Chain A
């Protein structure tokens, strides 16, 4: 491992998901240790049902064709790839409680933790990003 990348995913649209997973997989492919903290609407990005049908921003639906044409991987594919490359997924316990969601609503292999869990990882990260 050549460094650490800490990412906060706080938004739940399709574009947000691509930003998070593209950077996470690229960092993992560059030998970075990566953790993503999914909080508030960011939880959509790891929710079993929601992450298969994340919304485009309003008025940007015409991007759908571009995504298809560019052969961009789907979000579930990118999430699986990130997991396979060892990216740590942390679901925010507090947001899950607020939204009444249990761990089994999310994809396999996530950890559940609070802000401190993420901060502990991020305190000596080389790169910290928020999306």
Chain B
């Protein structure tokens, strides 16, 4: 999937993946896609909930080894 920006949040514990995602998202325009890489297992549920509460769209997520990947479209 094509992303406008990739955020490396690997190695960070809760709540950092969400905080970093929020900051990265601030730099995007509505409709653009942010790709996030994280290793915090809690991010799986957290980023989905975060996207929903902020009116963004979680387009897809994947697991590659211990890295969780998310694609969120800014609302």
Contact = CB atoms under 8 A, between A and B. Distances in A.
B18 A29 contact: yes
Contacts of A95: none
Contacts of A81: 19
A30, A70, A81: most-surrounded residue (chain B CB, <10 A): A30
Q: Give the interface size class of chain B.
A: 10 to 19
Interface in A50-93: 70-73, 81, 85
A22 to B, nearest CB: 5
Nearest to B50: A30
B54 A26 contact: no
Nearest to A27: B15
Given A2-B53, A2-B54, A31-B54, A26 B13 contact: no
A109 B61 CA distance: 39
B53 A30 contact: yes
Contacts of B11: 71
Interface in B7-66: 11-16, 18-19, 21-22, 46, 50, 53-54
B65 to A, nearest CB: 18
Interface residues of A, number: 13
Given A81-B19, A85-B19, A29 B14 contact: no
Interface string A14-40: 000000001001100111000000000
A83 B46 CA distance: 22
Given A71-B11, A71-B13, A26 B53 contact: no
Interface of B: 11-16, 18-19, 21-22, 46, 50, 53-54
